Chains A and B, each alone.
Chain A
Amino acid sequence: MRIIKKNSQLFFTVLFFFFLIFFGCKKDQTAQPGNVSTGTITFNISHVFGNNPLQFSESYLTANDTIRIQSQFAYYFSNIKLTKTDNTIYSPGNFFLVHYDIDSQNPDSTTITINNVPQGDYKTLSFVIGVDSLHNHTVGQTGALDPSMGMCWFWNTGYVFYRLKGNFGATNTSFSLDLGGDENIMSYEFPANFSLADSRTINIKMDIKELFQNPYSYNLKVDDKDIHSTTSKGISKLVQNSKDMMSILSIQ
Chain B
Amino acid sequence: MKVKFFILLFLATFFVQCRKDNTSLPVTVAVPFSATPYSINYPFFWSKVPILSPANNPLTVEGIALGRKLFYDPILSQNNTMSCATCHNINFSFTDSTKQFSSGLHGEVGKRNAPPIFNLGWFTNYGVLTHQFFWDGGASDLESQVFGPITNPIEMSETLPNVLTKLKLKSEYPTLFKKAFGTDSITSQLLAFAISQFERTIISGNTKFDQGRLINFSNFSPEEMNGFITFTSEKGDCWHCHTLAPPSSPLETDFGLDFSFHNNGLQKIFTDSGLARITKNNGDLGKLKTPSIRNLVFTAPYMHDGRFSTLEQVVDFYDAQAYQGSNVDGFITKNPHPTGLNLSSQEKRELILFLKTLTDSSLIVNTSYSKP
Question: Hey, which bits of chain A sit against chain B, CB under 8 A?
Answer: 5, 9, 12-13, 16, 19-20, 24-25, 28-29, 32, 137-142, 146-148, 150, 152, 154-158, 229-231
Contacts and interface: CB of A to CB of B under 8 A. Distances in A.
User: Helix, strand, loop or mixed for chain B's interface?
Assistant: helix
Contacts of A32: 21, 25
Contacts of A16: 9, 13
Contact of B143 (A20, A24, A140, A230): A140
Nearest to A141: B189
Contacts of B188: 140, 146-148
Given A16-B13, A157-B141, A137 B18 contact: no
B278 interface: yes
Contacts of B57: 140
A156 B189 contact: no
A141 B144 CA distance: 9
B48 interface: no
Contacts of B193: 140
A20 B21 contact: no
A28 B25 CA distance: 10
A156 B278 contact: yes
A138 B144 contact: yes
Contacts of A12: 6, 9
Contacts of A141: 189
B164 A148 contact: yes
Contact size range, B: 35 or more
Given A140-B144, A148-B161, 11 more contacts: A9-B5, A19-B13, A20-B16, A24-B18, A32-B21, A138-B143, A142-B187, A150-B159, A154-B144, A154-B147, A155-B139
Contact of B140 (A19, A137, A146): A137
Contact of A157 (B138, B151, B159, B280): B138
25 contacts: A9-B5, A16-B13, A19-B13, A24-B13, A25-B21, A28-B21, A32-B25, A138-B143, A138-B144, A139-B143, A139-B147, A140-B57, A140-B143, A140-B144, A140-B188, A142-B189, A146-B189, A147-B147, A147-B189, A148-B161, A148-B187, A154-B147, A156-B138, A157-B140, A231-B277
Contacts of B25: 32
A138 B21 contact: no
Contacts of A137: 129-130, 140-141, 144
B17 interface: yes
A82 to B, nearest CB: 23
Interface in B55-111: 57
A230 B160 contact: no
Nearest to A148: B160
A154 B187 contact: no
B277 A156 contact: yes
B18 A25 contact: yes
B182 interface: no
A40 to B, nearest CB: 17
Contacts of B336: none
A12 B3 CA distance: 12
B202 interface: no
B140 A138 contact: yes
A143 B164 CA distance: 15
A86 B14 CA distance: 37
Contacts of A9: 5
A139 B187 contact: no
B134 interface: yes
A136 B207 CA distance: 39
A20 B17 CA distance: 7
Contacts of B151: 154
B139 to A, nearest CB: 5
Contact of B138 (A5, A148, A155): A155
